[in-house]
Amino acid sequence: MIGGIGRAVAVLFAKEGADIAIVYLNEHRDARETKRLVETEGCKCLLIAGDVGREKFCKDAVQRTSREFGRINILVNDAAEQHPQEWITKITEKQLERTFRTNIFSMFFMTKAVIRHFKNGGNIISTTSVTAYQGSPHLLDYSSTKGAIVAFTRSLAQALAEKKIRVNAVAPGPIWMPLIPRLSRPNEVATFGSDTRMGRAGEPEEVATCFVFFASDDSSYTTGQVLHPNGGRVVNG
């Protein structure tokens, strides 16, 4: 869904003067609204619909972005899906593969496609989750992918440091997003985020600043790290 954190990140990057390509699955209305908000800031916005779980699509999306803008400086890996299940036996092979394809395979595919377009360094910023550190009993496959993203970030940062490509990640806690009411029970929606130290869920705009920091020269000595906008949960990670 091109709302929530993804939209907030796109708009904040636009406020900093960045032209943006947004890759999404089929949320055309949300994508058009995000494009409108980006263009309101005076920046260009390219919309590309397709499945990031497929390598060919990722290659095509990167090529199209390069042709449109002439260069690529930053890759934000933010695509994800989750399917809560009460018990591990409810997680089908199809669900397991789909979750991993969208949440972690896509990061390999997009990174492989984009790094040759980086000139004189670059930035890769991925979205992991507090569930990578604390776990989640009803999101076994989702939290597993988020743990993989942490390892991916740390390993890729080491692999690309000599090429002056910095790789970092953001691990949000409970953040208000359009999908929360759809995926949660009514009583869970009412108390969502209340168990954090700050006693509330975060807003997408409170997460977006982490991405802009990692993309800026203010973080020029930072790679392989994770920021934790999570309302005060201590995860030691």
| Each residue's pLDDT tens digit, 137-194 | 999 999 999 999 999 999 999 999 999 999 999 999 888 676 555 555 555 655 665 6
As for how many domains the chain has, the answer is 1
Mean pLDDT, to the nearest integer, of 125-129?
97
Q: Is residue 15 part of a domain?
A: no
Per-residue confidence (pLDDT) for residue 184, from 0 to 100: 52
**201 vs 84: which has the higher pLDDT:** 84
Average pLDDT of 113-133? 96
- Do 132 and 143 meet the contact criterion of CB atoms below 8 Å apart? yes
- Specify the pLDDT at position 174: 81
Q: How many Cβ atoms from other residues are within 10 Å of residue 26's Cβ?
A: 10
φ/ψ of 67, rounded to 5, equals -65, -40
pLDDT, residue 199, reads 73
184, 190, 195, 198: CA torsion to nearest 10: 120
**Domain limits for position 92:** 71-227
Residue 234 is assigned to a structural domain of this protein: no
Residues facing residue 124 across a β-bridge: 75, 167
Please indicate, yes or no, if residue 5 is contained in any of the structural domains.
no
Cβ proximity of 233 and 130 under 8 Å: yes
What mean pLDDT is predicted for residues 103-121? 96
Q: Count Cβ atoms below 10 Å from residue 227 Cβ, excluding itself.
A: 20
- pLDDT tens digits, one per residue of 20-71: 999 999 999 999 999 999 999 999 999 999 999 999 999 999 999 999 999 9
pLDDT digits (tens, 9 = 90+) for 184-216: 555 565 566 567 777 777 789 999 999 999 999
Would strands 122-127 and 74-77 be described as parallel, antiparallel, or unpaired? parallel
53 is a domain residue: no
CATH number, domain with residue 127:
3.40.50.720
Q: 22: which residues sit within 8 A by CB, 6+ positions away?
A: 2, 6, 10, 31, 34, 35, 38, 45, 46, 47, 48
| Domain contains 12 | no
Q: What is the mean pLDDT of residues 4-9?
A: 94
Distance CA 197, CA 36 (A): 35
CA distances from 59 to 48, 81, 112 (A): 12, 21, 8
CA-nearest of 108, 109, 85 to 95 is 85
Amino acid 73 reads N
Catalytic residue among 24, 133, 142, 221: 142
Give which of 182, 101, 180 is closest to 142, Cα–Cα: 101
Tell me if 93 is assigned to some domain.
Answer: yes
Note whether 168 and 224 are within 8 A (CB). Answer: yes
Q: Given a cut of 50, is residue 1 above it in pLDDT?
A: no
Is 24 marked active-site? no
